[in-house]
Amino acid sequence: MSEPVWSVDARTGERRDAVAVAVEATSAEVADACRAADAARAALDAAGIRGRAALLRECASGLEDAADELVEVADAESALGEPRLRGELARTAFQFRLFAEALEEGSWLGVTIDHADASAKPVPRPDLRRMLVPLGVVAVFGASNFPLAFSVPGGDTASALAAGCPVIVKAHPAHPDLSERCARILRASAEKAGLPADVVQIVHGQEAGATLVRDPRVKAVGFTGSVRGGRALFDIARSRPEPIPFYGELGSLNPVVVTPAAAAERAEEIAVGLAGSFTLGVGQFCTKPGLVFVPAGETGDRLVDRMARSVTEVAPGAMLTDGIRAAFRSGLAEREALPGVRVVASGAGGEDRYVSARLLAAPSTVLSDADAAELLLDECFGPVTVVVSYADEAELLSALDRVPGSLTGTVHTGAGADDVAAGAGARLGERVGRVVWNGHPTGVAVTWAQQHGGPYPSSTDAATTSVGTAAMQRFLRPITHQDTPPTLLPDALRDDNPLGLPRRVDGRLEA
């Protein structure tokens, strides 16, 4: 018998209603969802660029029209607060519209035409025309920490629909009521755009997620979550009779380097900014700075002291789920017990269900110990960061060599020439997907140039991004038409270019 799915208040731990939101999907129900999504592919493809752009804009408007309802439910299930959630909803609607603009701009198709050339060397060349086409049905796993922007109506869903792929979302158990409401809005938006509602579907349950990844009609997976859960699904995706791409965003340490020059010039500014960054949203950001390198000595000590004062003023916060809270407290206790690690400051205390921020410190030599390094170089999801002091550039670079792959790396540098900054930036560039200079990593702009993905374990494919217009590329594959009769060519590959697409023809870019 299927288990009921309950909506739980994140602040109290109590069920929000006497009636279950949904039930966990059976294997047969997952198969039905996959069958329906596969059947909807033709309609989504036939809608073309303009039809899919209209769908995305309808989704954005539908979410905005229901903003009050969605924010109220999201706040109850996540405890993230109305201001933060209204901002997240605005971002979510914006990214739907940005993908609509990207669709209409057309460069995402990668249209390339090489006309036949009998005199080509070393051999005659046939007529070759290349473009990108949708992979097929995409499974999306909602994230706990962004119940809108990285969940049912999130970037994975928006980018997959833009690419022409139907989506089946495995709802996150932390916000099932919100997930159901968002799914209904997206399905209604599809119908308003003249498409089948089944271009977007939702299932619940851990086993349903694994079943979804195994289904042969699913051709790609988008995932945001833990290393453990993501790796388990990644292994399923790659061990299928027909392996499929698994685009997972897993754990990220997001190291920060403060150079001696930066500490001397801007200790207070950097300290206050860092304290705000690692405690933002109760430390539940995938880009939270979890390791901060500061110079040993007076200037570094001044920066740490100012961070400590800021941390003591941070109010306690409720975390997203009981499991996340328990894991944070366990991880914090393990780190505090390490030899050489000291507690510099704690945030204000609160009720048992609320957690306090923590600032830890250690010398870089601690990272030479294998057991300590295993803990300190692993993400601890929540409001904690570890400040590591370094004696000189060589010691800093040696420590950076131990840092695992991350979404971001940050360097705070001085106003003038700064040799340490150059070396640190180059070293971080080998380990992260986005290098931030003189800022903080916890803001991720949704743009054409954004890269939100990095070397493992931050991502399972460092060549891709889950934020920004390039996220569409994950759900597309190339196909080349050779010597195809003109009447049978897709519109995107016709010589007269009826869609007005940017393209490369015989080696030359055409706007």
Residues 200/183, Cβ–Cβ less than 8 Å: yes
Q: Which residues are catalytic?
A: 249, 286
Q: What is the pLDDT of residue 417?
A: 84
Q: What residue ranges of the chain are covered by domains with CATH 3.40.605.10?
A: 24-250+462-476
Summarize the confidence of residues 141-149 as an average pLDDT.
Answer: 97
Residue 187 scores a pLDDT above 90: yes
Summarize the confidence of residues 482-506 as an average pLDDT.
Answer: 97
In the structure encoding, which two tokens stand for residue 251, read together? 């754990």
Summarize the confidence of residues 414-423 as an average pLDDT.
Answer: 92
- Whole-angstrom distance between the N-terminal and C-terminal Cα of the chain? 58
What percent of the chain clears pLDDT 90, i.e. is strictly above it?
Answer: 96
Interatomic CA distance for residues 400 and 413, integer angstroms:
16
For 333-351, write each residue's pLDDT tens digit. 999 999 999 999 999 987 8
CA separation, residue 3 to residues 24, 152, 224, 231, 356 (Å) = 5, 21, 24, 25, 34
Q: What residue ranges of the chain are covered by domains with CATH 3.40.309.10?
A: 255-437
- Predicted TM-score of the model (pTM): 0.96
Average confidence score pLDDT of the chain: 97
Class of domain 24-250+462-476 as given by CATH: alpha beta
Interatomic CA distance for residues 458 and 248, integer angstroms:
8
Summarize the confidence of residues 224-246 as an average pLDDT.
Answer: 97
Q: What is the pLDDT of residue 381?
A: 97
In the structure encoding, which two tokens stand for residue 509, read together? 């870019």
Q: What is the pLDDT of residue 511?
A: 77
Give the neighbor-by-neighbor strand order of the sheet with 112-114: 476-482, 128-134, 112-114, 503-505, 508-510
Summarize the confidence of residues 428-455 as an average pLDDT.
Answer: 97
Interatomic CA distance for residues 236 and 170, integer angstroms:
15
Reported confidence tier of residue 444, pLDDT bands at 50, 70, 90: very high
Summarize the confidence of residues 300-307 as an average pLDDT.
Answer: 98
Class of domain 255-437 as given by CATH: alpha beta
Summarize the confidence of residues 56-77 as an average pLDDT.
Answer: 98
Q: At what angle do helices 206-214 and 27-65 cross, to 10 degrees?
A: 100
Summarize the confidence of residues 157-181 as an average pLDDT.
Answer: 98
Residues contacting residue 124 through CB under 8 Å, at least 6 positions apart: 116, 117, 118
Summarize the confidence of residues 420-443 as an average pLDDT.
Answer: 97
For 308-318, write each residue's pLDDT tens digit. 999 999 999 99
Residue 3 scores a pLDDT above 90: yes
Q: What is the pLDDT of residue 416?
A: 86
C-alpha neighbours within 13 Å on the C-beta side of residue 60 = 21
Residue among 443, 429, 435, 433 nearest 464 (CA)? 433
∠ CA 44-47-53, rounded to 5°: 95
Pairing of strands 200-203, 167-170: parallel
Interatomic CA distance for residues 321 and 318, integer angstroms:
8
Summarize the confidence of residues 496-508 as an average pLDDT.
Answer: 96
DSSP characters for 128-141? EEEEEEE--EEEEE
Whether a cis peptide bond, with omega within 30° of 0, leads into 4 is no
Summarize the confidence of residues 68-86 as an average pLDDT.
Answer: 98
For 7-29, write each residue's pLDDT tens digit. 999 999 999 999 999 999 999 99
3-state secondary structure of 290: coil
What's the sign of the alpha-carbon dihedral 13, 16, 19, 21?
Answer: negative
For 362-413, write each residue's pLDDT tens digit. 999 999 899 899 999 999 999 999 999 999 999 999 999 999 999 999 999 9
Residue 152 scores a pLDDT above 70: yes
Residue 267 scores a pLDDT above 80: yes
Residue 1 scores a pLDDT above 70: no
